[in-house]
Chain A
Amino acid sequence: MDGISITLQHYLFLAALLFSLGVFGVLVRRNALVVFMSVELMLNASNLTFLAFARDAGMDVGHLPALFVIAVAAAEAAIGLAIIIAVFRSRGTVNVDDIRTMRL
C-alpha cells in the first residue's frame, strides 16, 4: 500500500494519548460528569491497547478483555451516575470543588 501504513506503534500512541487525556481530565476538570467521562476514556485507552497488542500478536483471545471491560464499564457507569445524581440532589451541584464537607 502507498502512503502511511498504520502500525502497532500508531495504535499504542493513540491509546497512550487517550489515557493521558483521561488522567488529565480527572485531575483538572471540575465537573463531576466530565471527570467521570475522563475515567471512561482511560478504560477505552486500555481497551485499545489490548486490541492493538492482540492483533499484532495474532491472538484471537486477546479481544476478550475488551468485551469484559465494556461490560464492567457499563456497570460502573450505572453506579457512578446514580451516585452523581445522589450528590446533585443533596447539594444541588456537581462541581468537584464544592463537594468537600469533610476535610483534614
Chain B
Amino acid sequence: MTPDALAPYLPLLAVLVLAGGLGAIVSVMSALLGPKRPSAVKSTIFEAGSEPSPGSARQRFAVKFYVVALLFIVFDIETVFLYPWAVNFKALGWFGYGEMAVFAVTLVIGLAYVWKKGALDWES
C-alpha cells in the first residue's frame, strides 16, 4: 500500500492523537494536583449510579423487562434507515427530508402509543 492511500486517514490519526493526548494529560494532571481523601463509599465499584450487582453476569432477568427490551430492539433498528439518509442528506434534499419526516412521525405515533399504554413504566 502506498502512503498516498493512507492520506484520507490523516484527520483520523489527528483525532486519535489529540483525544488520546488530552485524556492522558487530564488523568496525569488530576493524579498530580487533585486532593486524595478516600472513603468507604467512594471506593465501592461504580455501576451507573445503581447498586453494584456482584457475582456472575449470567443471571436471570425478571420477565417484566422484556417489553422494554423488545421496544428497544424495534426502535433501535430504525436507526439503520437514518444512516443512509444522513450520508446522502444533501443529495436527497427536501424530498429526503419529507420522507424521513413521515418515517419519524410514524415512529412518534408508535412511541406515543407505547408511552401512554404504560409499557415504559416497569415499576407498576
Interface residues of A (CB under 8 A from B): 67, 70-71, 74-75, 77-78, 81-82, 85
Contacts and interface: CB of A to CB of B under 8 A. Distances in A.
User: What DSSP secondary structure best describes chain B's contact surface?
Assistant: helix
Contacts, number: 26
User: What DSSP secondary structure best describes chain A's contact surface?
Assistant: helix
Interface residues of B, number: 12
The 5 A-B pairs with the shortest beta carbon distances in the complex, nearest first, are A74-B77, A78-B70, A71-B77, A74-B73, A67-B80
Interface of B: 63, 66, 70-71, 73-74, 76-78, 80-81, 84
A67 B83 CA distance: 11
B80 A71 contact: yes
A71 B73 contact: no
A71 B81 contact: yes
Given A85-B63, A85-B66, A78 B81 contact: no
B72 to A, nearest CB: 10
Nearest to A66: B80
A81 B81 contact: no
